[in-house]
């Protein structure tokens, strides 16, 4: 059984990632405004809706089960597919951070060489995948350790380094004028970059697949989500500000994150001997961030397999109750995507992967928000130990805001970025993102149309109308 502490750490590890810091650092003090805005209209609605659905409908399968309850199997499969495919697209970006951190530890001169980057990202991902085959208990413990050692500690050090830098009278790379809190809305391209926050603040619902394994779920689930939201916003804002203060904008690498902070600060004060140790900490943090993502969406997709939507080969689990074949398929696809690093600039791959991941994930979130509203009407008598306050108007306000903002985000993200650090051909960018989005959206409908009756697992028990578990 999962405790409050472990669930809160797993939730936080899902969302907090060092990879988003340099992207948001480019906004200067305005990043605080952006984080608070998205926290209010998106991140908090996700947490509230996931909490209500998690304790009211604590089914195995998480989002798949919730959407199935409200909208049926077809849309449930679309939701679980989007949750899975977006993370497959996202892996190359976080793996780039892992590769650079590993280079800092073992061979700093290799960090920008493709002959090193490609094998490194593939090897790290396969290692993380194999670790997940031993089960959720082991991966949960490792995730908690990695979160503290590899995310909180490096981020805290980055914040302290930035504070010391200013205290020592060194020049800040960003302005502290009050007017810089106001975001630059002069072009849709600048707004589109801010919209990548959808990717950096997503994931609170993923651990819904584990809600049946939680001690005292009626109290633990909403409390763990609340703790996670505070930690995520605090760590993310302060971490991004440390990058903005210390790293010159023209030197920022989207894949480097706090590594650039450590290099800049420690080199200035002649303490470069600490760089390998801090690089190792960052590596642990990113691997821990990735480990918990590797298993969550795959678990959700497995329930679609049991429901007869995809072939029975993907229903199989090993002795640790882990969907082995789905994990191996995922690793094979990610391997092919990571080969792009051999041919395309790392910053371009990072940004495009972030955009595509955010767009696909937002489709799932819109379906989740709609499902929460529908279930208030179709299953009003289901006991919900945690309920979004305000009755139906409160639900419409919270879930409706999330659905509206998410839908708007999908379309805005098609806009090419307006940033000198990310030069891209606008036509190429728009064509690529639209094509990939349409194909990814159509695949689950095609697969659902081609499903066969014998795909449904004979051992599958339909739990769509089972009562909530006791607290």
pLDDT of residue 215: 72
Q: What are the residues facing 214 on neighbouring strands?
A: 2
* Among the ranges given (2-11, 38-47, 250-259, 390-399), the one the predictor scored with the smallest mean pLDDT: 250-259
H helix runs in 107-187, sequence order: 114-132, 136-147, 153-167
Does the pLDDT value for residue 325 go beyond 70? yes
Does the pLDDT value for residue 459 go beyond 60? no
Which backbone phi and psi does 108 adopt, to 5 degrees?
Answer: -55, -30
Answer yes or no: are the C-beta atoms of 115 and 100 closer than 8 Å: no
Q: What is the mean pLDDT of residues 382-389?
A: 84
Tens-digit pLDDT profile for residues 362-380:
999 999 999 999 999 999 9
* Distance separating alpha carbons of residues 360 and 374, to the nearest angstrom: 22
Instruction: Return the closest-CA partner of residue 82 out of 304, 375, 288, 232.
Output: 304
Answer yes or no: are the C-beta atoms of 146 and 287 closer than 8 Å: yes
Fill in the DSSP letter of residue 40. Answer: I
Chain Cα centroid distance, residue 152: 17
Domains of the chain: 4-452 (1.20.1740.10)
Angle, alpha carbons 414-418-420 (nearest 5°): 135
pLDDT of residue 136: 60
The proportion of the chain whose per-residue pLDDT surpasses 70, expressed as a percent, equals 86
Which backbone phi and psi does 159 adopt, to 5 degrees?
Answer: -65, -45
* Among the ranges given (133-142, 315-324, 398-407), the one the predictor scored with the smallest mean pLDDT: 133-142
pLDDT of residue 463: 39
Answer yes or no: are the C-beta atoms of 239 and 27 closer than 8 Å: no
Tens-digit pLDDT profile for residues 393-443:
999 999 999 999 999 999 999 999 987 767 788 898 999 999 999 999 999
Instruction: Return the closest-CA partner of residue 101 out of 219, 200, 19.
Output: 19
Does the pLDDT value for residue 211 go beyond 80? no
Q: What is the mean pLDDT of residues 29-46?
A: 91
Higher pLDDT, 31 or 254: 31
Answer yes or no: are the C-beta atoms of 226 and 44 closer than 8 Å: no
* Distance separating alpha carbons of residues 38 and 18, to the nearest angstrom: 18
Which backbone phi and psi does 170 adopt, to 5 degrees?
Answer: -80, 150
Answer yes or no: are the C-beta atoms of 184 and 46 closer than 8 Å: no
Confidence band, pLDDT 50/70/90 cuts, at residue 47 = confident
Radius of gyration of the CA atoms of the chain, in A: 21
* Among the ranges given (30-44, 118-132, 261-275, 446-460), the one the predictor scored with the smallest mean pLDDT: 446-460
Q: What is the mean pLDDT of residues 94-105?
A: 82
pLDDT of residue 471: 34
Confidence band, pLDDT 50/70/90 cuts, at residue 208 = low
* Distance separating alpha carbons of residues 15 and 18, to the nearest angstrom: 10
Sequence-separated (6 or more) residues with CB below 8 Å from residue 78:
67, 363, 364, 367, 441, 444, 445, 448
Which backbone phi and psi does 98 adopt, to 5 degrees?
Answer: -60, -45
Which pTM does this prediction carry?
Answer: 0.83
Does the pLDDT value for residue 112 go beyond 90? no
pLDDT of residue 470: 38
Higher pLDDT, 96 or 61: 96
Higher pLDDT, 166 or 338: 166
pLDDT of residue 210: 61
Instruction: Return the closest-CA partner of residue 274 out of 282, 287, 257, 99.
Output: 282
Residue by residue, what is the 3-state secondary structure of 171-230? CCCCCCCHHHHCCCCCCHHHHHHHCCHHHHCCCCCHHHHHHHHECCHHHHHHHHHHHHHH
* Distance separating alpha carbons of residues 36 and 330, to the nearest angstrom: 34
* Distance separating alpha carbons of residues 117 and 113, to the nearest angstrom: 6
Confidence band, pLDDT 50/70/90 cuts, at residue 146 = confident
pLDDT of residue 257: 61
Does the pLDDT value for residue 269 go beyond 80? yes
Q: What is the mean pLDDT of residues 7-23?
A: 73
pLDDT of residue 50: 86
Confidence band, pLDDT 50/70/90 cuts, at residue 251 = low
62-88 core/surface letters (b: 16 or more CB in 10 A; e: else): bbbbbbbbbbebbbbbbbbbbbbbbbb
pLDDT of residue 433: 93
Q: What is the mean pLDDT of residues 308-332?
A: 81
pLDDT of residue 161: 93
The proportion of the chain whose per-residue pLDDT surpasses 90, expressed as a percent, equals 27
Q: What is the mean pLDDT of residues 165-172?
A: 92
What's the chain's average pLDDT?
Answer: 82
**Most confident among 21-25, 106-110, 224-228, 353-357 (mean pLDDT):** 353-357
pLDDT of residue 370: 97
């Amino acid at each position: 059984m999962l405790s409050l502490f472990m669930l809160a750490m797993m939730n936080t590890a899902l969302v907090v990632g060092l990879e988003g810091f340099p992207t948001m650092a480019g906004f200067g003090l305005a990043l605080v405004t952006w984080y608070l805005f998205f926290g209010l209209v998106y991140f908090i609605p996700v947490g509230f809706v996931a909490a209500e659905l998690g304790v009211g409908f604590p089914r195995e399968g998480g989002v798949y089960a919730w959407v199935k309850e409200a909208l049926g199997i077809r849309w449930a499969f679309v939701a679980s597919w989007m949750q899975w495919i977006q993370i497959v697209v996202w892996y190359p970006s976080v793996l780039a951070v892992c590769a650079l951190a590993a280079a800092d530890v073992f061979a700093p001169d290799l960090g920008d060489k493709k002959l090193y980057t490609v094998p490194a990202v593939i090897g790290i991902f396969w290692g993380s995948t194999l670790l997940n085959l031993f089960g959720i208990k082991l991966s949960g413990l490792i995730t908690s350790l990695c979160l503290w050692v590899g995310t909180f500690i490096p981020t805290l050090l980055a914040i302290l380094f930035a504070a010391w830098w200013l205290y020592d009278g060194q020049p800040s790379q960003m302005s502290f004028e009050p007017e810089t809190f106001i975001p630059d809305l002069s072009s849709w391209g600048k707004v589109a970059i801010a919209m990548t926050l959808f990717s950096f603040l997503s994931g609170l619902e993923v651990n819904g697949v584990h809600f049946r394994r939680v001690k005292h779920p009626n109290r633990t689930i909403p409390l763990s989500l609340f703790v996670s939201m505070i930690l995520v916003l605090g760590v993310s804002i302060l971490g991004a500000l440390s990058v903005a203060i210390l790293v010159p904008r023209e030197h920022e690498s989207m894949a480097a994150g706090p590594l650039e902070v450590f290099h800049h600060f420690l080199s200035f004060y002649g303490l470069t001997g600490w760089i390998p140790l801090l690089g190792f900490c960052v590596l642990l943090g990113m691997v821990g961030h990735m480990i918990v993502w590797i298993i969550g969406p795959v678990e959700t997709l497995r329930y679609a397999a049991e429901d007869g939507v995809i072939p029975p080969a993907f229903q199989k689990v090993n002795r640790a109750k882990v969907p082995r074949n789905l994990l191996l398929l995922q690793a094979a696809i990610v391997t092919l995507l990571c080969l792009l690093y051999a041919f395309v600039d790392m910053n371009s791959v990072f940004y495009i992967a972030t955009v595509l991941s955010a767009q696909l994930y937002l489709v799932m979130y819109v379906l989740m928000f709609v499902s929460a509203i529908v279930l208030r009407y179709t299953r009003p008598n289901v006991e919900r130990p945690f309920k979004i306050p305000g009755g139906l108007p409160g639900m419409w306000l919270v879930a409706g805001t999330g659905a509206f903002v998410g839908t708007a985000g999908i379309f805005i993200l098609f806009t090419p970025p307006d940033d000198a650090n990310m030069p891209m051909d606008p036509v190429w960018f728009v064509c690529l993102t639209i094509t990939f989005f349409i194909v990814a959206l159509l695949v689950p409908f095609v697969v659902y149309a081609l499903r066969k009756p014998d795909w449904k697992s004979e051992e599958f028990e339909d739990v769509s109308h089972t009562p909530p578990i006791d607290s």
